[in-house]
Amino acid sequence: MSAGGPGRPDFLTVVLDCVRASDFVGPNGGSPSMPFVSELRRSSVVFPRAAATAPWTIPSHASLFTGLYPWENGVHMPNALRLEASVPTVASMLARAGYSTFAASANGFICPELGLVSGFEAATWGDWWERYVRIPTRELPPRALNFGPTQRLPSGPQWAALEEKAWALHRFPVVLEVLNRINGQIRFAENPRRLAVSPWIEETVRRWLSQQPSGTPTHCFVNLLDAHEPYLTDPGIQRGLRAWRRLTRVRMDRTSILAGKWAPGPEEFEVLHELYVAMIRFLDRRVQRLVEVYREAGRWENTVMVLTSDHGQAFGEHGHLFHGQRLWEPLLRIPMLLRIPGRTDQGGVGAGWVSLVDIAPTQLELAGEDPAGRFPSAYPMTNMLNAPRPAPAMAMADGVHHMTMVKTIASPERIADWDRKWIAAYQDETKMLFDATRGEFHAFDIVRDPGETRDVYRPEDPEFVAMEAPMRQAAARLMGSAPATEAADVTERLKSWGYL
């Protein structure tokens, strides 16, 4: 008998932060950069038509946890970047059904201050500095709720000064690149290795699983942040000085792009994408280790696994860098892999569109709970294995995340252009975009035109007319939200994590 007990599957949801579909899914659904995940795909269903609900972390994770779009759960700008405790989450629903629930997130936004660990009995999350200062020997999380012990950086004025300048480190990380390299050469001279973001994740999940009684089903959420900028090089791959200089001299300055002060060329985007792909290869090993943790705990054979992302990443497409603000394909299209032990349809390809909102009803259904009536716009992914989605998969962009730095260097016209609200909708081969700020519709055939270069929108076309109604309704709810006063702790967290 498996540790989770018969008829009560364990759930493991892994978010590969910033991993876009085009660098994850290769020919026949495999992943050229991820050999272990490609093997895992043989016992899973891959959904090539999968979309995030927003092009950045906070609203997308809120959708994953609640099964609600951002305009339904209220987690977006201009409303609030905080999930209210009154909004049910899949973790709280599963906890009431007898599940032990746990979150281990390298992304520090998945924290109590933003309400994104609501419903989890215990949670651990990373701190802002882990993306910059790599300490491979750390096995304890820096922050935790109902789960200890923790291991934080020393306090003092020098660390406060480092956090205050985190925005600059984010844009020009070469200084920390040098310091991390020196540290690696001193401590691991005979065994150069890539230094993971939040290396405590796998060990923390192992420790939590070991504390769960046999027969008690578990629900575990994991966020891995290695594919999120800023990108540091892998000492095990780039060892020569010339190769290292090529990869580290490139700016990672999204703020200056938004402000119109910097226009990187094709070579710069290519280098950044090369660094990004190296991180995806490293993530493959981390996913493998998580699966090994579940095998060692005797739970893998009974575990339903969802492997996905919260949003994608841009490297020059439509002049964009990294993520946020827009709804182009590199930002919205994400991997979606669903493993259900014992299913005969594993190794297949899902036919319909799926969204992050669909994960919650899928897990409830597989746990033996009835999801009906809880999710107005979401559907179990099992419904889309061989059939189209009953309604379009949708998403929104809510403007510039944090404009303190942008406002100091950008013109008001430039800010107004980037700080627009958008709605996207996917159905069959069509993707529609609604610029809610300007009241303009656009449409693309993303099969024949995946680069979204030819606008095929026609206002008289019945297909477009049918898709317009839900998009207008979503935009009205998004635009009609009362502006919220951003809390000081949220502001500081956005700054230290590079959302300027």
- Per the domain annotation, does 223 fall within a domain? yes
- Per the domain annotation, does 480 fall within a domain? no
- CB atoms under 10 Å from CB of 160, counted, come to 9
Residues 6 or more apart whose Cβ sits within 8 Å of residue 168 = none
Give every residue of the chain whose pLDDT is below 70, as ranges. Answer: 1-7, 25-31, 78, 134-137, 154-156, 158-195, 233-248, 401-407, 482-500
- Per the domain annotation, does 42 fall within a domain? yes
Q: What is the pLDDT of residues 380-414, one digit of tens each?
A: 999 999 999 999 999 999 887 666 666 677 788 88
Q: In what order do the strands lie in the sheet with 100-105?
A: 45-46, 336-339, 303-308, 10-16, 218-224, 100-105, 122-125, 143-145
CATH number at residue 117: 3.40.720.10
DSSP 387: S
Q: Per DSSP, what are the bridge partners of residue 337?
A: 46, 307
Tell me if the pTM is above 0.85: yes
Cα separation of 148 and 344, whole Å?
Answer: 40
pLDDT on residue 275: 85
Query: In 365-420, which ranges are E strands?
Result: 393-397
Contact 441, 468 (CB under 8 A): yes
Cα separation of 372 and 362, whole Å?
Answer: 11
State which residues form the domain around 263: 10-391
Contact 341, 304 (CB under 8 A): yes
pLDDT on residue 147: 95
Going by C-alpha positions, the residue among 141, 130, 140 that lies closest to residue 180 is 130
Cα separation of 370 and 240, whole Å?
Answer: 57
- Per the domain annotation, does 438 fall within a domain? no
- At position 5, the amino acid (one-letter code) is G
Contact 366, 13 (CB under 8 A): no
Handedness of CA 29, 33, 35, 41 (dihedral sign): negative
- CB atoms under 10 Å from CB of 187, counted, come to 11
Whether residue 230 is preceded by a cis peptide bond, meaning omega within 30 degrees of 0, is yes
- Per the domain annotation, does 442 fall within a domain? no
pLDDT on residue 264: 86
pLDDT on residue 4: 46
pLDDT on residue 1: 32
pLDDT on residue 413: 86
Helix (H, G, I), strand (E, B) or coil at 354: strand
Q: What is the distance of C-alpha 135 from the center of its chain?
A: 23
Q: What is the distance of C-alpha 75 from the center of its chain?
A: 15
- Per the domain annotation, does 468 fall within a domain? no
DSSP 22: G
Q: What is the pLDDT of residues 1-42, one digit of tens each?
A: 345 445 689 999 999 999 999 887 655 555 677 899 999 998
- Per the domain annotation, does 411 fall within a domain? no
- Per the domain annotation, does 45 fall within a domain? yes
pLDDT on residue 2: 42
Structural domain total, the chain:
1
- CB atoms under 10 Å from CB of 342, counted, come to 8
- 370: burial class by Cβ within 10 Å (0-12, 13-18, 19+)? exposed
Going by C-alpha positions, the residue among 196, 219, 155 that lies closest to residue 369 is 219
